[in-house]
Chain A
Amino acid sequence: MAMKALPLPTSPDGDVTDAVLTVTDLSVEFQTEHGRVRVLDGVDLQVPSGKTLGLVGESGSGKTVTSLAIMGLLDRRVGRISSGSIQFEGQDLAALDARQLRRIQGAKISMIFQEARRSLDPVFTIGDQIAESVRIHEGLSRREAWKRAIEMLQLVQIPDAERRAREYPHTFSGGMCQRVMLASALASRPSLLIADEPTTALDVTVQAQMLRLLRTLQEEMGLAILFITHDLGVVSEMCDRVAVMYAGQIVEEGDATQVFGHPRHPYTEGLIQSLPESAVARGRLAAIPGSVPPAHAWPQGCHFADRCRYAVDACRSGPIPLLSRDGSATRCIRADELSLAGVR
């Protein structure tokens, strides 16, 4: 378990940039049929303000749980934050009650999801759905809120915004629904956007347009983004920094180009080698053998040891801390002796 916070990320010219969100030692437990199970185990994250942090990892590694925990959206009946802090604009979100959290949700931190169409209420017009959160957060009148909704739809480049605001989600395509979600998420000018696989369900061209739009808006609004995906290609295109997640832990964190060029954790190397282009380049399919073990069956030592071709006895002897050096971090005790292959 990593007890010390990560060093602040540094910008290319060496200046220390400030982080808008700092997650420290975040653990989340769920009540399951296996009893109380820890699905996040000491997660550390920093999202630099105005920049993008990519969070990558296989299915089941805990990316969505991390984002829901940050947003205060864990289903309280089964899940809870058991330790850690979530520092955002001078407050620890993990310590806030539901009412205090509501002042931040959708106002200062917003979230968009994978299935945009299913994330919109089918029985209200999209204009109404965008307007209602600015009415709550900013106390705008009905008319002002509607005006804002239309401005937001124009901002996310939805043609004929005034007319479309009066329409229902089923008349929009998947890509358009995601734009609507984005319009709604950004309506109160948040400083952080959490995007949980926002383009995974979209086809390639629509995905590219969406990413371009996100980057444009990020620059215009000085928005920080926590971008969750399991598509490394998207990460290298979108993200300044990247955190690699495996079985409830961050296993590597650092500057995106650095991490992909010179991974310092065998799991990251495995992910890179699973990319279709590197598989072709090497003439073999180098997927990581096996799959993420379920949370109740995580090993005592390195969570990845059982699937790792570099594992030695020491890897299994006890919890492995996240070790940081020069603005990056790895949870591998052999990081210095291994020379792992990156993207070429």
Chain B
Amino acid sequence: MIGAVGRRLLLAIPILVVVSLLSFLLIDLTPGSPAELLAGEGATPERVAELEQTLGLDQPIWQRFGDYMSGLLQGDFGTSLFSGQSVGDAIGAALPVTVSLIVVAYVLVFVIAIPLGVLAAVRRDTRTDRAISATCSFFLGIPSFVVALVLVILLALTVEAFPATGYKPLADGFGVWLSHLILPGLALALTSAAEVTRQLRGALVDVLEQDYIRTQRAKGLPPLLILGKHGLKNAAPPVLTVIGLQLARMLGSTVIIEQVFAMPGFGALTLNAVLQHDFPLIQGCVLVSAIAVIGTTVVVDVVEAGLNPRLRSAA
């Protein structure tokens, strides 16, 4: 088991290297050089060339990549071209905002999707099931920024139940922290919740029709025990995979959601870095995202193996 996790983590290293290399190449292929932007409009070509030299942009790409990698090995993510701040510090400042946002979103996904998915499965092919399924299709069909805007109009501007924008750290108090995260968290969560509800319903319907569920009924076990113990444990693996995949989706959505709610988070940081061609910062953001996504897959795999005795004995 431990060995399997170790193997997965070792496997992640080449993936991260490839991801870094690809994003390096992509930045290189993008038209417009950061030096031009830095030099400002109307700067002479000489001035731009000089800046490119200071930034090391005149070096061939493989050399720049090599330098970057050796920096990484010493824990140095580089320095932002524009703010002069270290990339590590910039990300470190933005990350708590986004981590808070995603944690709240995940909690909401669980709170919404588990009861709805279970209800739809238990009441399969009834009006309840169809209503839940239709609601899911609706939320899967509309983009999260639209949800965000509607939520702001309804719950922040009209009812004034929650603040419309901004972020307050946890240090300011749990209530204050949470109240700033509910609306963006909800906007982020609804699409994922719809997806997870669907998956859970499908997996659970499958399980509930298995012979071993009939056996549990024949044993005289109460329905809630059958559902909660035998049903959910068997239905969990495919649902966990989908729950894990939501992290990548949410990370992508934070780029827009953090704009809508004016939150100084990781999504906003990434967006600015891209707009400014701030390549060390872009590199850092890509790397952190990749680590988060790969880390989630490893965690999901480990939990799934824990739930499935056949996988466990194979590992």
Contacts and interface: CB of A to CB of B under 8 A. Distances in A.
A107 B220 contact: yes
Interface string B273-315: 0000000000000000000000000000000000111100100
Interface residues of A, number: 32
B215 A105 contact: no
Contacts of B221: 102, 106, 132-133, 136
B212, B222, B233 pick with most chain A CB within 10 angstroms: B212
B222 A118 contact: no
Contacts of A122: 212, 234, 308-310
Contacts of A132: 219, 221, 225
Interface residues of B, number: 24
Given A105-B219, A132-B219, A133-B221, A73 B307 contact: no
A181 B221 CA distance: 15
A121 B218 contact: no
Interface in A40-59: none
B211, B218, B234 pick with most chain A CB within 10 angstroms: B218
B220 A168 contact: no
A304 interface: no
Contacts of B125: 77
A119 B220 contact: no
B133 interface: no
A120 interface: yes
Interface string A104-128: 1111001101010011111111000
A184 interface: yes
B210 interface: yes
B216 A121 contact: yes
A106, A121, A168 pick with most chain B CB within 10 angstroms: A121
A297 to B, nearest CB: 26
Given A122-B310, A170-B310, A106 B234 contact: no
A284 interface: no
Contact of B220 (A106, A121, A125): A106
B234 A110 contact: no
Nearest to B309: A168
A73 B212 contact: no
Interface of A: 71, 73, 77, 98, 101-107, 110-111, 113, 115, 118-125, 132-133, 136-137, 168, 170-171, 181, 184
Interface of B: 125, 210-212, 214-223, 225, 229-230, 233-234, 307-310, 313
